Structure 1
């Protein structure tokens, strides 16, 4: 049974959102509004997602694992990589519709 919330549904304990909802959720953390997610912005997003403390070192590793062009930011071309990470480690199911 799905519980509908403001931006996503929860099914079997996993947040479900479309890739567009995921992008909109990430944009909330783009503090400097440059269209990219920095290491610090990603750490903030994960803190909110997981409801706890998250180290800069871990966010740097995540950026490194999903940042295809190695510029230190997640941009639109790398969102799919971040979505795959979120599915694997953050209890989020991304729906590609």
Structure 2
């Protein structure tokens, strides 16, 4: 169960975003898959979540592993979402 809720019109800091995104690492492998990112964005009720997920993965997955698997990629994801 996800425990972070945002108040309307409140943004997360990069560190809050990283901690929040890690709660979607369902298999606890330390990486965020495209499906996990899609679920996370859906949880934020972000418009066009599926499309944004695909675009985020294309731009941040630098080693083409199919997941966000390091801090730099996580920060790039934050920049792409906000």
CA separation of 1:20 and 1:63: change in aligned 2, threshold 3 A = same
Alpha-carbon distance in structure 2 between the residues aligned to 1:17 and 1:9: 10
**Structure 1 residue 44 corresponds to structure 2 residue 24:** no
Q: Structure 2 unaligned runs (5+)?
A: none
Aligned to 1:83: 78
Deviating above 4 A after TM superposition, structure 1's stretches of 4 or more consecutive aligned residues are 6-10, 51-54
Aligned to 1:63: 57
User: Is contact 1:7-1:17 (8 Å) kept?
Assistant: no
Alpha-carbon distance in structure 1 between the residues aligned to 2:41 and 2:79: 14
* Larger relative contact order (Cα-Cα within 8 Å, sequence gap ≥ 6): 1
1:60-83, Cα deviation, whole Å (9 max, x unpaired): 332112212211111223111101
Question: Normalised by the size of structure 1, how large is the TM-score?
Answer: 0.65
> Aligned Cα RMSD in Å?
2.3
Question: Normalised by the size of structure 2, how large is the TM-score?
Answer: 0.75
From the CA coordinates, give the structure whose radius of gyration is larger. Answer: 1
Q: Which has the higher strand share?
A: 1
Alpha-carbon distance in structure 2 between the residues aligned to 1:86 and 1:19: 11
SS of 1:17's equivalent in the other structure is coil
